[in-house]
Amino acid sequence: MRNIAFLVAPEGVEQIELTEPWKAITQAGGTPQLISTRSGQIQAFNHLDKADEFPVDATVSEVSAADFDGLVLPGGVANPDFLRMQPDAVRFVRDFFDAGKPVAAICHAPWTLIEADVVRGRTLTSWPSLRTDLRNAGATWEDKEVVVCTAGPSTLVTSRKPDDLKAFDQAAVDAFS
């Protein structure tokens, strides 16, 4: 495991869904990099309350999937809702699947996967309110703490919520190793 991209919006990522996988990747010997649509800092949240700010390593327009060994998509409601409306972010996500590189997404992050049209024929989980969206996009949805789908060229790791982070982090590290 080497470089792992964490794609987040300038504002709205759920902080624990960013920091806990980041820590797990670092402890496993990986190098996480924070990628966003704007340079500077991103604003994380603890549910609806502002939390910490984090420095952006690069913008999505400055990097490509070829620069990384895997991708993490943290959740929060606002984060993936913003990203799915950004063509560069959607392309960046799709490129990981086209390249057969592993992707890990938690909570509401599969909204961005839906927009990238990479869930059809795959099995995954998410925050429960995305169940219908995922089914309508051609995915099979399961209510489990972590789902690892190896259908297609990329391994896809998904989890439902912050309570699932321990299982999510371990499955992501395994997929990236």
Cβ atoms of 107 and 127 within 8 Å: the answer is yes
Q: Which of 108, 122, 160, 161 is catalytic?
A: 108
The torsion angle over the Cα atoms of residues 132, 9, 122 and 131, rounded to 10 degrees, is: -20
3 state SS of 94: helix
Is 108 an active-site residue?
A: yes
Q: What does the alpha-carbon distance between residue 159 and residue 56 come to, in Å, rounded to a whole number? A: 24
- Listed in sequence order, the DSSP H helices in the chain are 15-27, 78-83, 87-98, 110-115, 131-136, 165-176
Name the DSSP letter for residue 108.
T
Q: What does the alpha-carbon distance between residue 111 and residue 39 come to, in Å, rounded to a whole number? A: 23
Q: Which of 13, 65, 107, 171 is catalytic?
A: 107
* CA 94 to chain CA centroid, nearest Å: 12
Is 107 an active-site residue?
A: yes
Q: Which residues are catalytic?
A: 107-108
